[in-house]
Structure 1
Amino acid sequence: MGIVLNQSLKNTVITYIGFGIGGINTIYLYPVFLGATFYGLTNYITSCANVIMPLFAIGMQNTLVKFYSQHQTEEEKSRFLSFTVLFPLLLIIPMLLIGVFFYDEILFFLSKKNPIVKNYIWLIPFIGLCMAYFEIFYAWLRVHMHSVFGNFIKEVGLRLFSLFLLIGVYYNWITVEGFVYATAALYFLAFLVTMLYAFSIQKPNFQFTIPEKTKDILVYTFYIILSGSVANLLLDGDKIMLNQYMIIDNIAFYSIATFIALVISVPSRAMHQIVYPITARLMHENKQEELNDLYKKTSINLQVVGGLVMLGIFVNINKLYEMPQLHDYVEGVVVVFMIGLSKYFELILGNNNAIIFNTKYYRTVLFLGVLLVIIAIGLNMIFIPIYGIIGSAFATLLSITLYSLAKLLFVVKRLHLYPFTSQTFYSLVITLLLFLLFYFWEFPFHPIISIAIKSVLVTILYVYINYKFAISIEINQVLDTILKKLKIK
């Protein structure tokens, strides 16, 4: 257990560092060094690759984690590792052959609005393949209790080397066109390094054999492909749709706004790492009352922490877009609000996903997710031609909210669990009142200074009010501990 807690803490720190580097790249460097066109192009290529990645991996990264421990001997485990690495080739090779056969048709479809995409289209399957095998070898490391290295590569390494590449563009060491190819090489390097490290943990002995419980593995794999495809389409599908209706520069505007909004969801990553196994245990032991209590606690705790992050973003967003490098991207302000609200709603559902995926009903919810992806695509087709990137953000807000509501209703009706209390309402009121107080109050200073001052004031007032009204008992206990150590209380 010590290893689990130790690595969870390290992974949490790594995730925050990664987001910090990503913020520097997204807000300060990409817009200035690449420009809207090539920033949009890079984002489009990686988004497309991320969408096809679950198909290339065939869910093996999750299958490996779930079934590895069920193999007893080292020989069985070695055979299973071989299976998870080699089995995806049965789908990857036919998919690539189909892509080559219909290359001209695919090229025309994807580049009819933005001809610049033509020269880089082959990078999409290449990066997708690198992403897929990175995830498989990352899972290889996780089952051997070496998760930190892979997480560092994923969260920090890729963003840090992107920063170095951007500096290279600034000093004319590489061109903006070269940056796109270098990004593809970066994903290949991440896959290669992770693979070699995985092999150093356990040497491979490749042999293609059919493992035991093949039916269970294949059924599970099918639903994981479905789950991964739904999640990635909801995350990146809007950027792909934008390419079909608007010039590619708009993807850059949209990507910056969505990255800012996604910061709201960062607190949930740390909590879910800890809460997921607890949820699984309570459900296995059929402790309904304790599970319901945990559901409420995770909901209000994430609401309070996520509410502070969202508030800090929303009240400062206008000043942020006044900065010279973002001045031409100002249309993204509305996108930040829409995507931010959808992420906030996901937060306040607490450990909703952990509950669902530990029940026998998770397949139903996955099919519901597929339906909502279809709805999201339809909404994008309706709203993008009319409202542009704001239309895409509205389609995403609507589809994610519908999906979250469906999952909430499923848990409430089927499992008789409910996440909200009176504190939920009070937290919403506090967040709304502070937003109205600070949003229209602008300081006549440089944007960075104004953002810093307002953030400090919002944080002090928000934390004080939540503490005073005891919105979250657990957060108050943490604050009491800190105050005692500081000898303030």
Structure 2
Amino acid sequence: MGIIIKQSIKGSIWSYVGVIIGFVTTTYLYTEYLTTELVGLFGLLAAYAALTGQLFLLGFQGVTSRLFPYFRDTQNKHNGFLFVAALVFIVGFAVFLAAYYWLKPLLVESNLEKSALFAQYVHLLVPLTFFSMAFIFLDTYNRLLYDAVTGTFFQEFLQRLLLFVLVILFAIQLINLHQLILAFTLVLCLKGLFLFFFLLKRKEISFRPQLNFIDQKLKKEIWSVALYSVLASLGSIFVFNIDKIFINQLLDLSNTGVYTIAFYFGTLVVIPSRPLLKIAGTLVADAWKKNDLSQIKSIYYKSCINQFIIGGFLFLGIWANIDNILIILGEDYLQSKWVIFFVGLGYLFDMATGANGLIISYSKYYKVALYFIVSLILMSVFLLYILIPIWGITGAAIAIASALLLNNLMRFVFLFWKYKLQPFNYKFVVVAVFFTGLYFLLATIPRQELIFDIVIRGVIIVFTSVLFFIFLPISEEVQKLIKKGLQLFNH
């Protein structure tokens, strides 16, 4: 767990510096200088690119996650692994181009009236998909080289910083609307390009073929893993993005924009889990290779309790300040209140169930992960289709939260059934009672002037949480993290 904590801290630092920049960009610049339609366009382009980037890698990111440890050999350029990856990438992008040119007229026609801006810029999906595919694969590859931080730096920090600069340039009228949209696309593409050159500099890029390394057994395993990973790789990416596409199709681009901003706040709770699960996945893969069930049990438990504490802390911070957030966002975003609540709650439960998906994906039952992903996709689509016409964007949030809850319950039951892995104990109840009680305490405090109110509530949450978790033996990792933070503060 030392590697996990160390890289998780580094990744979280970049993530939360990026969150601060993203917070200013999203809550002030987007709402002040961009229309809800333009925000919706940005959200929709990013959503489509994330989905197509995952889908048209043809499952090879799953092959990388599961089978790269068998190729790993720095001296021998990882036995030609990147040559095989490049072939798959070329085929996958060619399939995307064929699908895009076939479906483009339908996309344009279905969006001409309610989402004209998206219909005008739909062609940007081509470069966005290409570089999304590149980043997803290279980030997975780099993570398996025990570096979960660099990809986080490019995606969570640098990308948000560049978007912040772009909107400033637009606000002071140094660039026009068309240039802003093109520049937005370029910024989303750059992280894939930067990561490629980073790995090239580290001499981790080699396309030298070594096909003789891949024997018949390994070839069969690659095909098998790739086949099941095509859908399995969509997972959280699908849930993170499909709601925006449904809202655009069932409502309009303006509602998509409002939801995009609200969704941003709701998913703040899940940001710390990204660097943690990236490196945890690498250790889980190695543990399964050694069939070390005790190590897997330890990773499972610690990922659950630590993520629940951090996620609960952030969810409380957001919900205790929800009225302040709505004031900052303005009247156009008043309907986002319950979107923030349900999205945040759904991802809090997702964090509390820890690395369950990774443990299944890297086990001998990895094919079962496909059924969980398919069920997640089907539940999400069904609930979105049913609830959006009833409750609008709030219905979309309820759909996503419900799908996450049900899917994680199924994973929990499966791991308990097959391996008797059960990470929950009384400490989870203690944490839940603490955060719930603290919320009701904060609810009794009279509202103050905006900034002062945010500061007061924030100070109470931080101070009380630090005292609670540093003195109670809930999590050794969280205690160490708090003590290190206090040491830095004292110096």
C-alpha contact (below 8 Å) 1:412/1:418 kept by paired residues: yes
Which moved further from structure 2: 265-274 or 340-349?
A: 265-274
Q: Does 1:451 align with 2:454?
A: yes
Map residues 365-384 of structure 1 onto 2, 5 A cutoff.
Answer: 365-384=369-388
1:44, distance to aligned residue in structure 2 (A): 0.7
Whole-Å Cα distance in 2 between the matches of residues 217 and 99 of structure 1? 27
1:127, distance to aligned residue in structure 2 (A): 0.6
Which residue pairs with 1:80 in the alignment?
A: 81
1:125, distance to aligned residue in structure 2 (A): 3.0
Whole-Å Cα distance in 2 between the matches of residues 465 and 207 of structure 1? 56
- SS of the residue corresponding to residue 225 of structure 1 reads helix
Q: How many residue pairs get matched? A: 485
Identity in percent = 25
CA deviation map 1:421-457 (0-9, x unaligned): 1222222222212112213534321x22211111101
Over aligned residues, Cα RMSD in angstroms?
3.1
Q: Does 1:310 align with 2:315?
A: yes
Which residue pairs with 1:421 in the alignment?
A: 425
1:261, distance to aligned residue in structure 2 (A): 1.5
Which moved further from structure 2: 40-49 or 285-294?
A: 285-294
Which residue pairs with 1:57 in the alignment?
A: 57
- The match for 1:438 among 433, 436, 442 is 442
C-alpha contact (below 8 Å) 1:162/1:183 kept by paired residues: yes
- SS of the residue corresponding to residue 234 of structure 2 reads helix
Which moved further from structure 2: 79-88 or 227-236?
A: 79-88
Which residue pairs with 1:232 in the alignment?
A: 237
Whole-Å Cα distance in 2 between the matches of residues 142 and 485 of structure 1? 28
- SS of the residue corresponding to residue 231 of structure 1 reads helix
Whole-Å Cα distance in 1 between the matches of residues 281 and 389 of structure 2? 41
Which residue pairs with 1:119 in the alignment?
A: 120
CA deviation map 1:64-115 (0-9, x unaligned): 4554553458667474312212322223223312432343223223445323
Whole-Å Cα distance in 1 between the matches of residues 326 and 229 of structure 2? 39
Which moved further from structure 2: 387-396 or 407-416?
A: 407-416
Q: Does 1:177 align with 2:178?
A: yes
- SS of the residue corresponding to residue 164 of structure 1 reads helix
Which residue pairs with 1:44 in the alignment?
A: 44
C-alpha contact (below 8 Å) 2:83/2:207 kept by paired residues: yes
- The match for 2:222 among 217, 227, 237 is 217
Which residue pairs with 1:23 in the alignment?
A: 23
Amino acid at match of 1:257: A
Amino acid at match of 1:242: I
Amino acid at match of 1:238: D
Which moved further from structure 2: 331-340 or 66-75?
A: 66-75
Whole-Å Cα distance in 1 between the matches of residues 489 and 28 of structure 2? 36
Unaligned runs of 5+ in 2: none
C-alpha contact (below 8 Å) 1:27/1:326 kept by paired residues: no
Distance 1:198 1:280, change over 3 A: closer
Q: Does 1:348 align with 2:349?
A: no
Map residues 189-228 of structure 1 onto 2, 5 A cutoff.
Answer: 189-202=190-203, 204-205=206-207, 212=214, 213-228=218-233
Which moved further from structure 2: 151-160 or 92-101?
A: 92-101
C-alpha contact (below 8 Å) 2:148/2:275 kept by paired residues: no
C-alpha contact (below 8 Å) 1:43/1:251 kept by paired residues: yes
CA deviation map 1:19-62 (0-9, x unaligned): 22222211121111212110111111111111111123223345
1:251, distance to aligned residue in structure 2 (A): 1.4
Distance 1:189 1:470, change over 3 A: closer
Whole-Å Cα distance in 1 between the matches of residues 393 and 326 of structure 2? 16
- SS of the residue corresponding to residue 237 of structure 2 reads helix
C-alpha contact (below 8 Å) 1:282/1:290 kept by paired residues: yes
1:387, distance to aligned residue in structure 2 (A): 1.0
1:180, distance to aligned residue in structure 2 (A): 1.5
Q: Does 1:392 align with 2:393?
A: no
Distance 1:418 1:69, change over 3 A: closer
Amino acid at match of 2:431: S
1:239, distance to aligned residue in structure 2 (A): 0.4
Amino acid at match of 2:269: I
C-alpha contact (below 8 Å) 1:376/1:396 kept by paired residues: yes
- SS of the residue corresponding to residue 87 of structure 1 reads helix
C-alpha contact (below 8 Å) 1:38/1:177 kept by paired residues: no
1:480, distance to aligned residue in structure 2 (A): 6.4
Whole-Å Cα distance in 2 between the matches of residues 42 and 395 of structure 1? 22
Whole-Å Cα distance in 1 between the matches of residues 166 and 484 of structure 2? 43
Q: Does 1:300 align with 2:301?
A: no
1:408, distance to aligned residue in structure 2 (A): 1.1
C-alpha contact (below 8 Å) 1:282/1:291 kept by paired residues: yes
TM-score (norm 1): 0.88
1:126, distance to aligned residue in structure 2 (A): 2.4
C-alpha contact (below 8 Å) 1:342/1:397 kept by paired residues: yes
Amino acid at match of 1:120: Y
- SS of the residue corresponding to residue 369 of structure 2 reads helix
Whole-Å Cα distance in 1 between the matches of residues 25 and 475 of structure 2? 35
Q: Does 1:410 align with 2:411?
A: no
C-alpha contact (below 8 Å) 2:383/2:399 kept by paired residues: yes
1:287, distance to aligned residue in structure 2 (A): 5.5
Distance 1:317 1:381, change over 3 A: same
Which residue pairs with 1:462 in the alignment?
A: 465
1:355, distance to aligned residue in structure 2 (A): 2.5
C-alpha contact (below 8 Å) 1:254/1:389 kept by paired residues: yes
Whole-Å Cα distance in 2 between the matches of residues 3 and 303 of structure 1? 20
Map residues 146-165 of structure 1 onto 2, 5 A cutoff.
Answer: 148-165=149-166
Distance 1:360 1:118, change over 3 A: same
Unaligned runs of 5+ in 1: none
Whole-Å Cα distance in 1 between the matches of residues 448 and 65 of structure 2? 53
Distance 1:67 1:109, change over 3 A: same
TM-score (norm 2): 0.88
Amino acid at match of 1:47: A
Which residue pairs with 1:103 in the alignment?
A: 104
Whole-Å Cα distance in 2 between the matches of residues 472 and 73 of structure 1? 36
Amino acid at match of 1:256: I
C-alpha contact (below 8 Å) 2:427/2:474 kept by paired residues: yes
Distance 1:327 1:144, change over 3 A: same
Distance 1:432 1:140, change over 3 A: closer
- The match for 2:335 among 318, 331, 338 is 331
Whole-Å Cα distance in 1 between the matches of residues 442 and 44 of structure 2? 35
Amino acid at match of 2:114: K
Distance 1:81 1:355, change over 3 A: closer
C-alpha contact (below 8 Å) 1:83/1:210 kept by paired residues: no
Whole-Å Cα distance in 1 between the matches of residues 9 and 464 of structure 2? 28
